[in-house]
Amino acid sequence: MLLILISIAVLITGILLIRLSDTVNFKLEIPTLIVGGILTITGAIILLVSIISLSTKSYHYNQIVIERTVIEQTIQNARTNNQIMENATITKTIINWNTKLAKKQYQKTIPLLKDFTDDRILTLKPIK
């Protein structure tokens, strides 16, 4: 949310500088029209990227839940059939998934990134 507020502030500042350069004739080293244009474009791009990222956070959570379900079903199948050869592969898959989960949960603790990670990620537990 902080990133969206910052991008809106930059966007508004840029628009105000553009409007100011049209109404008052400033004699500055850097024209306010150019600075305002750069700020407006930067703010718009950051805002667009933030909105797209925020809209996909639920998709990423659902993808992780589906991966977990598939891994758990594979583990149960391998344990019931006593397939020793698959245990190493399953162990590697569990390690990779738990690592991915730990990274997502760590992202949730970083102030600028926590808005881009679904809150439900903290409820998931590592596979044992």
Q: Cβ distance 1 to 115 under 8 Å?
A: yes
Name the domain count of the chain.
2
75 lies in some domain = yes
Structural domain ending residue among the three candidates 55, 80, 97: 55
Q: 9 and 48: one domain? A: yes
Does residue 128 sit within a domain?
no
CA 44, CA 38: separation in Å to the nearest integer? Answer: 10
Do 49 and 72 lie in a common domain?
Answer: no
Domain co-membership, 63 together with 115: yes
Q: What is the mean pLDDT of the chain?
A: 81
- Please check whether residues 62 and 116 belong to one and the same domain: yes
Domain that holds residue 11: 2-55
Whether 61 and 117 share a structural domain: yes
- Max Cα–Cα distance, the chain, nearest Å: 82
| Per-residue model confidence as pLDDT tens digits over 57-83 | 778 888 888 888 888 888 887 777 776
Tokens of 86: 């698959």
Specify whether 80 is located in the same domain as 70: yes
* pLDDT (tens digit per residue) in 28-62: 556 777 888 888 899 999 889 888 887 787 788 88
